[in-house]
Structure 1
Amino acid sequence: MPQTPTQLLTRMRSVSPTSPRLVWHGREGRIELSGRVFDNWVAKSSNLLVDELDAAGGTTVAVDLPVHWKTLALVFACWQVGAVVVLEDDDVRSAATVGTSADADIVLSSQAGVEVDPPRLLACVALGSLALRWDGTLPRGAVDFAAEVRSHGDVFLDAADDPGAASAPLVRTPGGMLTAADLVDTLALPGGHGRGRDSAAGAATTDTTSTTYTDAGSPTLLLEPGVGLLRALSAALAVWERDGALVLVEDGVPVTDRMLSGERVTDRLGTA
């Protein structure tokens, strides 16, 4: 049985909390989050979801965000408060996709021009690592994530975790509900090393490289640019269960040998 997101966060705080857990290579540069720092961002985001957007157990949250370190913090925050994340097709992201999740209670979006009708709530998420506020006109009634999140508490005291949480739905997709076990066990790593949690730490290659990285300990998994959010979440659960690190690369940023060696990458997950 895989660990729940809340159990993973607890482990991040207690097992090598200063070790890298999430690394972002974006156009603005490199960002490294240790387990303690990632947990801190999740806690702040959880408190924002509860205090500003009335999130609670069973709340549905449409995530209209690309693969990004802030996205992972927000998704884990949703799970920490007991909310279900609503995702559309990984290959389709436009302002119109929000409308297909019309029954979600909350929408998180990084796109300009998105509006929702009450009683649905909207949080606009500026993705710039140093962004202090939403760039542009904030839609009426929307919460500015970047402007508000830092004022919220560093600890979340009401994590929604219980003995049955491992079987609780975490994600709703057009294909149905997915639990933590579903997400981890359906992750197919490239390179012919099988599926599921046992493959997360195995050596892997992508169709775009002939280089193979192997490591017997905790994995460092690099996600190629273009990997969809659902696969990224599956990878995060699988890798962090093994006390590993996840490396995300923004579209347009080249994956170089220097990046691979500098991050000590043991595995790569591509879009195929």
Structure 2
Amino acid sequence: MNATDRTPADLLRSALAADPSRPLVTFYDDATGERVELSVATLANWVAKTANLLQGDLAVQPGDRAALLLPAHWQTAVWLLACSSVGVLADMGGDPAASDLVVTGPDTLEEARACRGERVALSLRPLGARFPEPPSGFADYAVEVPGQGDRFAPFAPVDPDEPALAFAGAGELTAAQVVERARTDAATREYTPVSRVLSGLPFDSWDGLSAGLFAPLAAGGSVVLCRHLDRLAPEALEQRRESERVTATAG
């Protein structure tokens, strides 16, 4: 974490400069048995490619609104940080009809069709695999992102005082406010660079977004992000805490 960081993308850049090889996001889906571990460098590469997709192929501009109809997932973390890199407002669970872009998982495709702008669909299958059959009217993220550049430079500087994050019933936060709140949460919860936070909270509120991404990132720590955690038996959850060296649990 750098004191001059004012956007979530800045936090990622500082993490990359500090230690690119350390784990940043370890993701479990307890409905499928999936486990994916992403280092800072690997996550940053996905973010750069996604930001290039946004800015280039999708022609999204700073100030545009992206409705993210996505669960707590490692690819959602990628999209949140990619939106921050471009200056796009990431609206978690936002109204597709009121957005310039919609990014959806497989369960909300029909809802996402209300967007008149660009539509991107994520299969959320293990290892970021493609849809078996591409959904009509949507770009398949897994098809579009691999060919994007590994480095990203915004066409225009991102203004940290512009809206960057929104979620239902809580208004909007600027990029600088996201960073400030993440730092406050990290300090309150006593997260440090060796903290490893396990979170099974959804990404539909600040608490879930903070625990599952922003606060550990601000502290220089890492997160064990779990989807469908309620399907895990108590003894298996305790084994996961031990095997993943978890230091704090959210929710």
TM-score, structure 2 normalization = 0.83
The one of 149, 156, 166 equivalent to 1:172 is 166
Query: Which sections of structure 2, spanning at least 5 residues, go unmatched?
Result: none
Give distance in 2, aligned partners of 1:115 and 1:217. 38
Is 1:108 matched with 2:103? yes
| Counterpart for residue 243 of structure 1 | 220
Q: Deviations over 1:153-193 (max 9, x none)?
A: 1111227655xx44332112343211345446667xxxxxx
| Counterpart for residue 147 of structure 2 | 151
SS at match of 1:113: helix
Is 1:222 matched with 2:207? no
Judge conservation of contact 1:6–1:159 (CA < 8 Å) in 2: no
Which letter does structure 2 place at the counterpart of 1:265?
V
Give distance in 2, aligned partners of 1:180 and 1:131. 27
The one of 105, 125, 129 equivalent to 1:128 is 125
Deviates more, 1:222-231 or 1:105-114: 222-231
SS at match of 2:47: helix
Q: Deviations over 1:212-243 (max 9, x none)?
A: xxxx6532111025464643322322211111
Flag the 1:156–1:257 CA change in 2: closer, same or farther, 3 A: same
1:51-70 alignment to 2 at 5 Å?
Answer: 51-70=56-75
| Counterpart for residue 77 of structure 2 | 72
SS at match of 1:62: strand
Give distance in 2, aligned partners of 1:40 and 1:159. 18
The one of 208, 212, 217 equivalent to 1:232 is 208
Give distance in 2, aligned partners of 1:119 and 1:226. 27
Give distance in 2, aligned partners of 1:150 and 1:135. 17
Which letter does structure 2 place at the counterpart of 1:245?
S
Give distance in 1, aligned partners of 2:151 and 2:56. 13
| Counterpart for residue 92 of structure 1 | none
Structure of larger gyration radius? 1
Give distance in 2, aligned partners of 1:245 and 1:117. 36
SS at match of 2:87: coil
Deviation of the 1:70 alpha carbon = 0.4
Query: Which sections of structure 1, spanning at least 5 residues, go unmatched?
Result: 89-97, 188-194, 203-215
Deviation of the 1:131 alpha carbon = 4.4
Judge conservation of contact 2:120–2:139 (CA < 8 Å) in 1: yes
Flag the 1:226–1:13 CA change in 2: closer, same or farther, 3 A: closer
Give distance in 1, aligned partners of 2:193 and 2:117. 44
Give distance in 1, aligned partners of 2:58 and 2:225. 28
Judge conservation of contact 1:22–1:69 (CA < 8 Å) in 2: yes
| Counterpart for residue 201 of structure 1 | 190
Deviates more, 1:61-70 or 1:2-11: 2-11
Is 1:12 matched with 2:18? no
Deviation of the 1:147 alpha carbon = 1.2
Give distance in 1, aligned partners of 2:97 and 2:147. 30
**Total equivalences in the alignment:** 238
Identity %: 27
Q: Deviations over 1:13-65 (max 9, x none)?
A: 21111000100012242111111101000001111112222112111000000
Deviates more, 1:53-62 or 1:150-159: 150-159
Flag the 1:229–1:237 CA change in 2: closer, same or farther, 3 A: same
